[in-house]
Amino acid sequence: MKRALALSAALLSAIFGAQANAQTLNNTTVAFLMPDQASTRYEQHDYPGFLAQMKKLCPTCKVIYLNADGDATKQQQQFNSAISQGAKAIVMDAVDTAAAASLVKRAQGQGIKVIAYDRPIPNAKADYYVSFDNEAIGKLIATSLVDHLKKMNMPSGSGVLEINGSPTDAAAGLIKKGVHAGLASGGYKPLAEYDTPEWAPSKAQQWASGQITRFGKQIVGVVAANDGTAGGAVAAFSAAGVNPVPPITGNDATIAGLQYIVAGLQYNTILKPSEIVAGAAADVAVALLKGQKPKADKMLFNTPSKLFVPTLITAENLKAEVIDKKLNGQPIIAAAVLCKGYEDACKKLGINP
């Protein structure tokens, strides 16, 4: 009898505990703070992916979405606004990852969970970090370029330009570290490198133009850290009348970057469907709010982290990886969207718009 009563008590405790836990998340506010609009991914992929997963996990939760437009001060104001609106968890892709440390500590001091997203926050221990493996991305694009230059029989000792991401972005620093490792044993010396403020394509273009004037035909390739800066480099070479444009790397698999690959203006990019990482960030936010401890792949900057493996895209595998593969039952990018204005080039790659 006592055992039956004990079991009943345990069962009731579990039931009411679960109900209390569900009640805790009822109408809970979660903030999703993105860094800029220089890259189209945040509006087109990250936020929709986060919102969709949050609706599945917590239909009554309120999601605040704010974009800082590349302004660290504006992001600080948005962070404070999210707190004042009652956010219990904040997912943040920091504009300035050093300045973000004080924001993390302020929120945690009020019992608010902070998930670093895409870009780590080295000077503060966030509750979790979710991203693709940025150092691996840098090494992958650089190694791919080196191998391609060797296949083109470019002489060893020729030079490449290196266009890095923002100096205030710790993820850009990891990509840069990977790029250096990828170039180190390749035999193609870095002629010059540049940390692009706010990842701005216009600033990348301006810098690349100066280097084209400076180095001319010594430049046999460019390692650009994302598709935006790659586009800036393409514009600089085109404006200088360089034809063909030397092989240029990228990252993010934006529509523009993939179209440049189709057109032969960009050599590679990195496919990292942001919806996957955004969905994982939602999973982590809900788990933390429930008092759970999400499993981590590794510790990075003293923060439990989950890092997804990126996929390198070139003209050779673009159709198979971007058009033929499905995400949630749909092509990652529809052929009709990718090939708009590039129909003939798409057909050469076997892509029928």
DSSP per-residue letters across 60-106? T-EEEEEE-TT-HHHHHHHHHHHHHTTEEEEEE--SSTTTHHHHHHH
- How far apart CA 26 and CA 200 sit, in angstroms, is 40
Average pLDDT, integer, range 21-31: 77
- How far apart CA 159 and CA 167 sit, in angstroms, is 23
Q: Read off the pLDDT of residues 156-183 as tens digits, 9 standing for 90 and up.
A: 778 999 999 999 999 999 999 999 999 9
Residue 353, pLDDT score: 83
- How far apart CA 329 and CA 309 sit, in angstroms, is 21
pLDDT above 60 (res 10): no
What is the chain's mean pLDDT, rounded? Answer: 92
Q: Read off the pLDDT of residues 331-346 as tens digits, 9 standing for 90 and up.
A: 889 999 999 999 999 9
Average pLDDT, integer, range 99-122: 97
Q: Read off the pLDDT of residues 212-256 as tens digits, 9 standing for 90 and up.
A: 999 999 999 999 999 999 999 999 999 999 999 999 999 999 999
pLDDT above 50 (res 8): no
pLDDT above 50 (res 4): no
Average pLDDT, integer, range 182-188: 91
Range name among 9-18, 37-46, 140-149 with the lowest pLDDT average: 9-18
Average pLDDT, integer, range 275-296: 96
Residue 24, pLDDT score: 63
